[in-house]
Amino acid sequence: MNTDKNTVIGFVLLAGLFFSYFWYTNKQQTEMQAYKKHFDDSVAMVKATAEKEAAAKNPIKVDSASGQAIAVDSVKEQFSSLENDLIKVQFSNKGGQVVGVTLKKYKNAQKALVQLGDSSTLNYPVNIGNNQTAQINKVIFPFVNVLPGNNGVQKIEYAWTTPSGKTIHHQFTLYPNKYNIDWNIQLDGADQLLTNGQINLLWDVHSYQQERTSQYERQVSNVCFSEGNEFDYISSKTSRAFEKPVQWVGLVQQFFSTTLVAKDGFASGKVDWQRKTDSSNALATMQSQLQTKVSGAVVNIPLTLFYGPNDFQILKTQAPEMEKMVNLGRDLYSFVRPINKFIIMPVFDFFAGFVSNYGWVVLLLTIFIRLVTSPLTYSSYLSSAKMKVLKPELDEIKKKLGDDQQGFAMEQMKLFREAGVNPLGGCIPALLQIPIFFALYSFFNSNISLRGQSFLWSQDLSSYDVIAKLPFTVPMGFGDHISLFTLTAVITSVFISVYNMSMTPTQDNPALKYMPYIFPVMLLFIFNRLPSALTWYYTVSNVVTLLLQLVIQKFIINHDKILADIDVKRKTPKKKSNWQGKYEQMMDAQKKVQDLKEKHKK
């Protein structure tokens, strides 16, 4: 092919035309893509805005699988909070409810502020039209309004309009220096929102460890409620169907509780609960199903949520019978509740009014109890003094009769009857200690004012003190530690037992000889995991008992006069009581049987 000048010019022009065409085409395509992207972005923006506006009016959609209405993702969960000097309350617009409470005045075992209401939910179903229902805890309330309040009162309101045009308001009010939050459910269109004019409230509550050991805190956790205006509780059972109207129900741990109060009462309901058994810090869970009947199109359901300490005086102001959540004596030990309520608690509060350290308050309370009961125990000390005076004569009888136990018992009873001695008189102090001990056991275990209070080597009077940590766990309830207050209580108990044995006639029975040491050893295992306030009380009580015995025996009781009185009574004709007569007949019969056995042996 000949390439003359005209051919070369033709190829160059043709190449220029191709390059010009590709450049122009590429430019057009770029502009078209930019325009398309702009168009798509505009469409997406319009669509998102429309969806957002639609969600604001109706923030739910229907799940095709379940048929239930659920929250849409275009409206995000938001949190708000209200707080006073005692608590900080966190709310969520998802369900329009409380999602957590921080107690500002109390710390847990890890020194962090106590948290209540975590993982707890309140829920009830509502009809939204077209045979569809929505669970209120799944709905995100689009309208949140913090309302102005007077005199420190704070309010927050959540509102949601259903697709059918009905409105639900959740209004919360927090008052100054209060642990309770008023919750008002307002339904505009309740006749259509609720089925059969009944709201079915579902309350799922969880409690978590706040004290030193979750094991013991689980043990004392329970569910308390007021049914038919009467207090009751569940401890060992796991469920309860209410047969009468319910005023309030709460999940209670050792020193804190979460309680729902219905100002107008719940018509019926059921509660299920269980203690945790794993190694986590979870204590218990409670699921309550509570029903309330309503009538009319616009209704208000006033409720109160209490998140706070199990303080007797605080609970007393919340609802009738609610102070009984503080365990001052229940079931087999219900007889000690009046002792705690009318004696122990007022005296304790009186001393705490002017003594700042609660260890010294316990000491003053102990001295008060011992002084008040000392007139009752005086007769037992007098009986012990009489037995001490008669001890030489009893020793002489023992020497004379030798191994004849039956004969010695009869002569001993005869001597006691002549001298006017009651051999059971020394049991009075021990019998008095039983109700007082159980009363104080309940009181110290449930008195939140002792919580976290240090005294001497104890860091917390509401729990056991630890002077040594063991690398193993001792069975039978002893635990993996050694409590010094337990040791002082046991040692002083040994002193009392030895002293009392010295005041009684000689005993040849080996079991009786070891009795002063058996009971204190038992106390060692029982007391080692009890609150140090209780073991401190027992120590002081034992010391006071020893001092009273010594003072009464040395300075008050006149042994010479007692001996003279015994001689006078011996000369006075005696009339046997029915009990003494039957006892002597029994001993006489046993002696005759013993004599026959000895005769046959010979």
pLDDT in tens, 125-172: 999 887 888 899 889 898 788 777 778 899 999 999 988 889 999 999
Residue 171 confidence (pLDDT): 94
Exposed (0-12), middle (13-18) or buried (19+): which is 48, by Cβ within 10 Å?
A: exposed
Residue 145 confidence (pLDDT): 81
Question: What one-character-per-residue DSSP string does 342-357 give?
Answer: IIIHHHHHHHHTT---
Q: How far is Cα 531 from Cα 3, in angstroms, rounded to an integer?
A: 114
Domain locations in the chain?
13-57, 69-326, 342-571
Q: Are 413 and 424 in contact (CB under 8 A)?
A: no
Residue 593 confidence (pLDDT): 62
Residue 27 confidence (pLDDT): 57
Tokens of 190: 């309740």
Question: What one-character-per-residue DSSP string does 165-182 give?
Answer: S-EEEEEEEE-TT-SEEE
Residue 330 confidence (pLDDT): 86
Cβ–Cβ contacts within 10 Å for residue 316, how many? 14
Residue 66 confidence (pLDDT): 45
Phi and psi at residue 23, in whole multiples of 5°? -65, -45
Q: How far is Cα 343 from Cα 326, in angstroms, rounded to an integer?
A: 16
Q: pLDDT tens-digit profile of 440-473?
A: 888 998 999 999 899 989 988 988 888 888 887 7
Q: How far is Cα 74 from Cα 382, in angstroms, rounded to an integer?
A: 85
pTM of the full predicted structure? 0.76
Edge-to-edge strands of the sheet including 79-83?
Answer: 79-83, 87-92, 97-107, 113-116
Q: How far is Cα 164 from Cα 56, in angstroms, rounded to an integer?
A: 14
Which residues, at least 6 apart from 361, have a Cβ–Cβ distance to it below 8 Å? 348, 351, 352, 355
Residue 29 confidence (pLDDT): 54
Q: How far is Cα 369 from Cα 568, in angstroms, rounded to an integer?
A: 36
Residue 133 confidence (pLDDT): 87
Phi and psi at residue 165, in whole multiples of 5°? 90, 5
Which residues, at least 6 apart from 60, have a Cβ–Cβ distance to it below 8 Å? 69, 70, 71, 72, 128, 134, 138, 139, 163
Q: How far is Cα 452 from Cα 443, in angstroms, rounded to an integer?
A: 16
Type of residue at 74: S
Residue 294 confidence (pLDDT): 87
Q: The CATH number of 69-326 is which of 3.40.640.10, 2.70.98.90, 3.90.380.10, 2.60.40.10?
A: 2.70.98.90
Q: How far is Cα 328 from Cα 341, in angstroms, rounded to an integer?
A: 7
Averages of pLDDT over each 10 residues, the chain, 602 residues: 49 50 52 54 50 48 46 69 93 92 92 89 88 88 79 90 90 94 92 89 92 86 92 86 93 94 91 86 91 89 94 92 91 88 93 92 92 75 69 73 69 70 63 81 90 90 87 76 89 82 59 67 82 91 84 68 65 58 63 63 58
- CA Rg, the chain, in Å? 40
